[in-house]
Amino acid sequence: MKVLVAVKRAIDPNVKVRVKADGSDVELNGVKMALNPFCEIAVEEAIRLKEKGLASEVVVVSVGTSAAQEQLRTALALGADRAVLVETNALLEPLNVAKYLSKVIDQEKPQLILFGKQAIDQENNQVGQMVAQLIGSGQATYASAINHVDWQWVVEREVDGGSQVVALAMPAVVTCDLRLNQPRYASLPNIMKAKKKPLEIIAADTLGASVKEHARLLGVVPPAVRKAGINVGSVAELVDKLKNVAGVI
Amino acid sequence: MTILVIAEHDNKVLAPATLNTVAAAAKIGGDVHVLVAGQGASAVAEAAAKIAGVAKVLSADNAAYAHQLPENIAPLVAELGKGYSHILAAATSNGKNILPRVAAALDVDQISEIISVESADTFKRPIYAGNAIATVQSNAAVKVITVRATGFDPVAAEGGSAAIEAVGAAHDAGISSFVNEELAKSDRPELTAAKIVVSGGRGMQNGDNFKHLYALADKLGAAVGASRAAVDAGFVPNDMQVGQTGKIVAPQLYIAVGISGAIQHLAGMKDSKVIVAINKDEEAPIFQVADYGLVADLFEAIPELEKLV
């Protein structure tokens, strides 16, 4: 059984982003990039399925510029078998990314397609769901456990009030939440081995997906700055401020 | 322009987030219709009909919609949605699960978690864990949008008298099924709608110590939240997590106890009106966003605070 994992090159989660002076976008020049943390969880889950003997092959796919090869190599070092980069310099709108990915899925025919639940840069939380719709599959978003029972994927999901379990026919799309697993680190020998693993580059416009621009970014501003607060000396003073100054209790 | 709002509900009760979503629809302007898709959800449809400013309620009552499975609901919304200028849902786990499928079915992009409406096609939304606010203009024929509840004051739940129209369409994709669910039971206010939220972090040390926060919360009529550290350590269940990947809250008062204030946590609470931080580490980043900071041992401060409020 083949598992396909979609991954994204995104800003390192520990970087504090800055808005460009001209307000056109955030500053990404010279900023440290990494594998999106939720994608790391998805890769880890695929490798665990392989270690359990459930998956025979793990293919990682990314849509983006040629720089995303670095993140695909990271996924290979973690244990993926081969990688595919759909190369494009265009802005990565979720529906267009989903269309490219669904073309790759048509070719690869995996039984499970794993995503992170969202990318920490644009925070759209859309691509997995869109791919599921485009390929006509069932979906389980925000997964905290994935099991394979009687030719179905049985997935526990994190929902607002607690947790929910759904069963999906194969092939299925699952997007991974924080608590699905704890991703491993790549060992040095595995990083060396990953350099020899196959990484195929496909030009996005050769996939025959009908993409178009759906939205325009008009500008970006930093969030409103909170007025500096004060430190109080005691609990009594705090209660007094909350009651008599802020009026919130 | 006519706007379709997808009601958030559990077949019995209309969730408050629907009122914030209708408020966003009212800002866009035009007639507002509400879709209640579920099973045996007539009480929800009746509640939706009473929302101020709602012109019509569409009620799709079918076993296939009982558990809000996106494979079944998305084709329904896409089919109904073709005649609308906008389709809106709250950015809840349901809304976020269903709406991107609807957008893909309509061959349009979706705009996630808007916090303000600039015009009928232009919206503001936070990106990079709330560290930047983007203004985006959509050229989609149907604008498919999820709404961050804290960005919009809810409309009145009473005052409307919309007609309820039954929708016959039944979509059952047959590729997914509901197995079961476990929902946390709590008598306290719902986290995302509470006026006061008391949250604990790693500094609480263990799950048992959260009882101090529960006691304080009960005195204040507050909801209790947590940081990712407290959830990952198993102190409390994950539906209590406030932050970029948990719930986004903006109460009148947010009390952060034993929480350092990582970027990802701040993303979920920094729009609160008044923030109080109680932490023994005076260097903790939480103090940079707190209106009132108290450098103290929480195990002394919290019981004292509970006595004084």
Residue A146's beta-bridge partner residues?
Answer: A155
Nearest residue of A to residue B182, measured between CA atoms: A163
For residue B255, what are the CA distances in angstroms to A239, B24, B205, B224, B275?
12, 28, 17, 10, 6
Give me the mean pLDDT over the B12-37 stretch.
Answer: 97
Give me the mean pLDDT over the A172-199 stretch.
Answer: 97
Tell me the shortest Cα–Cα distance from B178 to chain A, in angstroms: 5
Inter-chain touch A179–B175, beta carbons under 8 Å:
no
Of B25, B21, B18, the C-alpha closest to B86 is B25
Burial code (b: 16+ CB inside 10 Å, e: under 16) for A230-244 equals: eebeebeebbebbee
Chain B residues whose CB is inside 8 A of the A239 CB are 305, 308-309
Inter-chain touch A217–B176, beta carbons under 8 Å:
no
Outline where DSSP puts E strands in A190-243: 199-203, 215-221, 230-232
What band does A227 get if pLDDT is binned at 50, 70 and 90? Answer: confident
Inter-chain touch B196–A229, beta carbons under 8 Å:
no
Give me the mean pLDDT over the B69-97 stretch.
Answer: 97
pLDDT tops 90 at residue B267: yes
**Per-residue pLDDT tens over the stretch B189-225:** 999 989 999 999 999 999 999 999 999 999 999 999 9
pLDDT tops 90 at residue B133: yes
Give me the mean pLDDT over the A12-18 stretch.
Answer: 92
Inter-chain touch A248–B274, beta carbons under 8 Å:
yes
φ/ψ (deg, to 5) at B281? -95, 105
Give me the mean pLDDT over the A142-162 stretch.
Answer: 95
Of A135, A132, A168, the C-alpha closest to B98 is A132
Nearest residue of B to residue A134, measured between CA atoms: B104
What band does B186 get if pLDDT is binned at 50, 70 and 90? Answer: confident
pLDDT of residue B6: 98
Of B256, B274, B243, B239, the C-alpha closest to B198 is B256
What band does B185 get if pLDDT is binned at 50, 70 and 90? Answer: confident
pLDDT tops 90 at residue B134: yes
For residue A40, what are the CA distances in angstroms to A34, A37, A179, B81?
10, 5, 12, 35
Strand, coil or helix: B71:
helix
